[in-house]
Chain A
Amino acid sequence: MSANLLSIADLGAEGIEELLRLTDSFVEVSERPIPKVPALRGRTVASLFYEESTRTRLSFEAAAKRLSADTMSFSVATASVAKGESLRDTVVTIEAMGVDAVVVRHASAGVPWQVARWVGASVVNAGDGCHEHPTQGLLDCYTLRQRLGSLRDRRIAIVGDVRHSRVARSDVLAYTALGAHVTLVAPPTLLPPSLEGWPVEVSHDLDGVLRKVDAVEVLRLQHERQIEALVPSLREYTATYGLTRDRARLLADDAVIMHPGPMNRGVEIAAEVADQSRSVVTRQVANGVAVRMAVLFLLLGSGSIR
């Protein structure tokens, strides 16, 4: 593993496996009465969030704290960005304060790559525009493995706004690296213009796909205004691509239902479906902390986690 985590593609199957194994240990740590280890004592992790995201930021900060790292938090609303400071100046300034890792979230694809060129600290991509969200990809793999065991030859459907989804891009790379068969299900307007090089199948028939899969991942409809231009209406979207109660009955009893959150209940997923025992939405969040502990530990740690 390099000193950065920018893309799932950098990890390969072996890197993913290593992180998932490490996550097991941190899940165990999280279940202790005092869920904390001294592994990153004296290290500093800065979170640099140029886009609102409560859950990912809290998850990274919880992960850093459980590893005993110091944390610094930088959010757009209160920051020098509002005073016109450039991205480069901001990250160089933060690095000058002595940080070992920078966790970056930005609405523009590629910003973590730019940041990595400017700083020597480790850079973790916490979501860049419509590109990638590698720790989400890892925690989705981890969560699925808890339910399904190995992902090899498992069939997974990813449903919804793949075009704008960084989760989908990371998940496709991660699931297929672990040997799963992925089917993207969406209207053509919500798929990327080209799927050249993507090891996936595509379907526009959600009912048919649901009957055959081991897991279905429902994507959030992210940009409601954009979506309105890409599908005739949210109502029609829900009718054709929403995981409604009726449609969820087509799934096998032991199929897994996932959603990266936050959910638009009643739009891409029915409230009752999200709350079914087959749904692992809350489990995804819990695993997120352990996965991010594994990532930070692997990037910054040198010793044993015990």
Chain B
Amino acid sequence: MVRGGTVLDQLGRRPADVVVTDGVVAAVGQGLQAPGGARILDAGGCLVSPGLVDLHTHLRQPGMEEAETVESGGRAAALGGYTAVVAMPNTDPPIDCASVVRDVLELAAASRWQVFPAGAITRERAGERLAPMAEMAALGVRLFTDDGAGVQDSRLMRRALEYASGLGVTLAQHCEEAGLAAGGHLHEGAWSSRLGIPGTPAEAEELMLARDLTLSRLTGAPMHFLHLSTAGSVALVRSAKAAGLAVTAEAAPHHFTLTSACAASYDPVFKVNPPLRDAPDVDAVKLGLADGTLDAIATDHAPHPQEAKELPFDQAPPGMLGLETALALALTELDLTVEEVLALLSWRPAGIAGLEGDHGGPVAEGRPANLCVIDPAATWVVEPDRLASRSRNTPYAGRRLTGRVRHTVVRGEPVVIDGEAQR
């Protein structure tokens, strides 16, 4: 029983206790009696929200278990308030066929974390031949992407969209036109020029986004756009939505909290793809999140081992941790109500991932008990060594944030209590 909190979901805000039995919400209301033998989670002063849903997590398994595993990444997610994460397919081997999907589902089942693999659009993520999407969809895969790279070939992308529309699944694009982006390690602009690091122009993202919006119109297939980072991208999606296209888009916390100036330290912890952009882009992303142009905040949680992030900036792999800091960054840095932040982190991404049956609320009788109890006023300081991820590459070390996860409940099991992981 979660007692004494304020339930906050897509139906609104109401003071209520939540009784959970057998992994399902049994009752929601004020002054409820705790069933005999019930475990009580104190939610005094806290918000009781549907668990968060991350559309964009790199769990690194199979293949890069030194950086992260389904087990460690699932724990990091739970500590961040997530009850479900979509695992990106750029593993080794990539998730590009039924057998690898099964492997990841088995790892997820063994870990008891709610992990939903995304499948690759093309075999080996090589951008040349369609991956067997139907056999992966049959195992429950709802989202397909070659994330880490965009599908460069326009004809192949058109075929992929047409094929996917027959399966009722959504294609998600990592928008990066490879030719224009080639050799870049930082946002192309004042900082890349000064620092002598080759840059990736904003237009490399916008070019592929514009192409895909055109292809979405051509095929009528829905699309989701991953980690949009530029003012131009936000404007493109805004006008596409105004024109009625069935598209959704996400932004990552680092793209509304950090800028390319961070690279002046030459610390590869600030290297990420798409790269950190400039202040006008940060402002545009914030505005896009506020006005509904961007549907979700997704972490792009990308763990890397220490030695990889000690390479020279132009050799280090891109990526940052995100699961354990996303909610607090959104609450601290965005000029939005808590309701709006939770919509971006929970129920809207749940819908995009096709998980709305089990995740993202509402908190109501008969629904699976995937819950997150948030203390919106608690402040804390990010300490890399205290993170549950197997990696340490957070760009927020030492940053003071407001808003903290107190408890997380996955299918009725309290996996985080008072900020401590229970397993």
Contacts and interface: CB of A to CB of B under 8 A. Distances in A.
A166 interface: yes
Interface string A152-166: 000000000000001
Interface in B112-155: none
A110 B190 contact: no
Interface string A105-118: 01011110110010
Interface in B143-198: 188-190, 192-198
A197 B190 contact: yes
A194 interface: yes
A227 to B, nearest CB: 14
Nearest to A131: B196
Interface residues of B, number: 22
Interface stretch (B84-92, B210-218, B308-316): B308-316
A28 B235 CA distance: 63
A305 to B, nearest CB: 33
Contacts of B313: 108-110
Contact of B193 (A86, A87, A195): A195
B266 A113 contact: yes
A4 B195 CA distance: 18
B385 interface: no
Contact of B196 (A87, A117, A169, A197): A169
A192 B193 contact: yes
Contact of A114 (B194, B197, B312): B312
Contacts of B5: none
B265 interface: yes
A87 B310 contact: yes
A193 B188 CA distance: 7
A41 interface: no
Most chain B C-beta atoms within 10 Å of own C-beta, residue among A131, A166, A198? A131
Contacts, number: 72
A131 B195 contact: yes
Given A106-B312, A131-B196, A193 B266 contact: no
A192 B193 CA distance: 5
Nearest to B190: A196
A188 interface: no
Nearest to A130: B196
A225 to B, nearest CB: 12
Contacts of A166: 196
Interface residues of A, number: 25
A129 interface: yes
Contacts of B265: 113
Most chain B C-beta atoms within 10 Å of own C-beta, residue among A87, A113, A114, A169? A114
A130 B311 CA distance: 17
A110 B197 contact: yes
A87 B189 CA distance: 28
B253 interface: no
Nearest to A112: B266
A128 interface: yes
Contacts of A86: 307, 310-311
Contacts of A145: none
B188 A110 contact: no
A88 interface: yes
Most chain A C-beta atoms within 10 Å of own C-beta, residue among B192, B266, B307, B313? B266
Nearest to B194: A197
B310 A110 contact: no
B318 interface: no
A195 B195 CA distance: 12
B4 interface: no
A132 interface: yes
Nearest to A166: B196
B39 to A, nearest CB: 46
A110 B311 CA distance: 10
B12 to A, nearest CB: 47
A108 B310 contact: no
B322 interface: no
Interface string B260-276: 00000111000000000
Interface in A112-164: 113-114, 117, 128-132
Nearest to A192: B193
A87 B312 contact: yes
Interface string A84-108: 0011100000000000000000101
B311 A194 contact: no
Given A87-B312, A88-B310, A109 B196 contact: yes
B293 to A, nearest CB: 27
A109 B198 CA distance: 10
A193 B197 contact: no
A188 to B, nearest CB: 13
A196 B194 CA distance: 9
B196 A129 contact: yes
Contacts of A128: 196
A88 B316 CA distance: 13
Interface in A185-213: 192-198
A194 B192 CA distance: 8
Interface string B371-399: 00000000000000000000000000000
Contacts of A195: 193
Nearest to A50: B312
A193 B312 contact: no
Contacts of A193: 188-189, 192-193, 199, 201
Contacts of A169: 194, 196
Most chain A C-beta atoms within 10 Å of own C-beta, residue among B307, B313, B315? B313
Given A88-B307, A193-B188, 8 more contacts: A87-B310, A108-B315, A129-B196, A169-B194, A169-B196, A192-B194, A193-B193, A198-B194
22 contacts: A86-B307, A87-B311, A106-B312, A108-B313, A108-B315, A109-B197, A110-B195, A110-B312, A110-B313, A111-B312, A114-B266, A129-B197, A129-B314, A130-B196, A132-B196, A166-B196, A192-B192, A192-B194, A193-B189, A194-B188, A194-B189, A198-B194
